[in-house]
Amino acid sequence: MNAKEYSPELSTLPGTPEAAAHAAGRSHPHESARAQVAGGATYVDDIPEVRGTLYAAPILSSVAHGRLRGVDAAAALAMPGVRDVLLADDIPGDRLLAAFSHDEPVFAFDTVQHIGQVVGVVVAETVMQARRAARKVVLDIEPLPAVLSPRQAHAAQSYVLPPVTVRRGDPERALRDAPHVLSGTLEVGGQEHFYLEGQVAYALPLEQNQWWIHSSTQHPGEVQHWVAHALGIDNHAVRVECRRMGGGFGGKETQAGHLAVWAALAARKTGYPVKLRLDRDDDFMVTGKRHPFAYDWRVGFDDSGRITALDLTMLANCGFSADLSGPVADRAVFHADNAYFLSDVVIRSYRCKTNTQSHTAFRGFGGPQGVIVIEAILGDIARHLGHDAFDVRMRNLYGITERNVTHYQMQVEDNILQPLLSRLEQTARYRQRQAAIKAWNAAQPVMKRGLAITPVKFGISFTATLFNQAGALVHVYTDGSVQVNHGGTEMGQGLNTKVAQIVADELGVPFHRVLVTASDTGKVPNASATAASSGTDLNGRAAQFAARNVRDNLASFVCGLDGCGAGAIRFEDGRVISPTRTRSFDEVVGMAYANRIQLWSDGFYRTPKIHYDKHTLTGRPFYYFAYGAAATEVVIDTLTGESRVLKVDILHDVGRSINPAIDIGQIEGGFVQGMGWLTTEQLVWNDKGLLSTHAPSTYKIPATGDIPEHFKVDLWPEPNREDNVFGSKAVGEPPFMLAISVYEALRDAVAAARGAHDKAQPLQLEAPATAENVLRALGRLPAH
């Protein structure tokens, strides 16, 4: 189903205009699409620079772990155009970043903890002068032993945060009593964000020690706090603005703050505005990735394949500091069930400290690392029993009235898994294709195909309850045009477009009359990060409430003119309609202004129902679940290990879509990004701790040629059962996990090639399933 075909029931919702006037529910183009195509959309590096602007470049550690005994910047300072060098001693505020764990230095001092850690910055008159000079700074580092893998860290009990255990039932007894028991391990790699616009910040000193920071960030409020903390000033003296990012994917949730702090410190010391933009190689070396995970598991199950017990250990490679590793690892625990009821289970989560970049948020935020392990386990159970993997998955699904409570004690109230999967089974012709693939594989000695359907059940809300709040401002001007500002950030995902649609409907004005402006800490303070797939849920609702306040003011004014109740006033199609008269919205606004009626308002929203004990990892951390499923067919070459995705059929639950075109784009993009994580995007650190894959020449994201010719996306036709804005559901992260069907299809193809060999043992295929890892799974290359 494409966006043009999608036509949800446009019934009137409380507080919205009649169906005919809806902006929401339609595929309006992205609000910046024309400007982006024409090269007229401004990113941080496009902002005209103030006279005297200087440029900074980072000084990077070349050692994974060591004592920093000295820094010799003489050669750098002697180079043309170089103005200054900043080190830890130049920081007027705290030398540690204002992160939650307070464990990461602004600039390395005393020790360095990974190759690429920033020791300081060089400031010069041009970008290239700064970068060349940064490479001339000599670091005196005494090497120390480095920990480079999560298993090595776990053996040494090297952790950034304490371990966490979640338990339900008696898994030890259930394992002893299980008719069948399997055990295995799994290694899943990380992923580089590879946003098109790299990390960048531009710091401008203003009068009286005030600051204006342009930052490519998903969290302007945190950048504000970090900069103020490093400068030793109050938050109110720092204003952070972000009109848009050229992609974020989680990589600009916390780690954009580093560049803003470095640029602001340089600007403070030199007295001039400073811009800092990392080149792609430095971006790779400095910033964190998706957390690599290692797993050990033991599962008990019955003759039908239903799980009766699970003992799971997760080792999260967090890098050298905590960053967001705590909530990332927590969400991996929350999603280790994916769509399946686990009666007796223990999950142990270790947050391992290694001498690599500090890993951070990435689309899915630990969810993919939880989902993949249970899907791999179910695939192994099916092969062990000789059952169809789809049937085994269906037998383990959450129920409606029983088997419907998660291992963290949240009841699954909105379960649509069984009907959604059954529909995809039919529309993707799963049974017929499985039979055809079996016949094809029997006739092909070299090329083998595989097919898999995997679901997703993804919880929507920040697991840290305090972040589930948002604010917005709506201004109606005397000509009837509308301006909106909210705390969310636009990174290409269409947030501002959806917010404009929601506000247009609330005021009953055409979509083109609403303008959403840059995220700005000077307008909406204390805003949460645009993350956890909740950008529209939070900011859209806050903007709706703000617009509703203005509409109510206008309705009260008109009812006084026409002698009717305010509830009888309707706003639709740019008109304000009372029982006795119809006026244009612009006319009513002009009259209201003349009568001193307030034409602007704020709005605030806090997600209801959620609660969560971070110590026990129990409660209701999520407002609702978003569901989906994908059927993926692949082919592998058993001689070279190469693979290709042939066909993808997706059925995904976005609730009542605010913008079908944007939602389908998010589904397609999320799936392809997940496909890259599990097939081609391999991060390789050598035995010295150097990230060897630090450029597009060695790190391969999916290209246009990797997109399957058959790529079909349908939307599940049901509104959100919770009271969410427009009846919609979040769509940013859940589709990413649909790509786990690619991984399971590849394992299906490998199993077809191996035949009955080692059928009783789990099939070992490391992710990403590169050609080398496929050959290892086939037994044609030795294991690591």
Q: Which residues of 522-532 are buried (b: 16+ CB within 10 A; e: fewer)?
A: ebbeebbbbbb
DSSP sequence for 134-151: HTT-EEEEEE-----SHH
Who's near 182: CB < 8 A, 6+ residues apart?
Answer: 298, 299, 301, 377, 380, 381, 384, 762
Query: Crossing angle, helix 740-754 and helix 660-679, to 10 degrees?
Result: 40
520/543 Cα distance (integer angstroms)? 15
Cis check: omega of the bond before 179, within 30 degrees of 0: no
Strand ranges in 320-428 using DSSP code E only, listed in sequence order? 345-353
Going across the sheet that includes 200-205, the strands are 82-86, 118-124, 54-60, 274-277, 200-205, 211-215, 238-242, 519-520
Contact call for residues 23 and 501 (beta carbons, < 8 A) = yes
Amino acid occupying residue 610: I
Catalytic center residues: 733
214/276 Cα distance (integer angstroms)? 11
CA angle in degrees (0–180, nearest 5) for 586-587-592: 100
560/370 Cα distance (integer angstroms)? 58
770/761 Cα distance (integer angstroms)? 22
Who's near 282: CB < 8 A, 6+ residues apart?
Answer: 57, 58, 60, 116
Candidates 493, 470, 703, 697; CA nearest to 602 is 470
- How far apart are the two ends of the chain, measured CA to CA in Å? 43
Structure tokens at 59: 């000084």
558/561 Cα distance (integer angstroms)? 5
H-state helical runs in 2-125: 33-37, 74-77
The number of residues making up the chain comes to 784
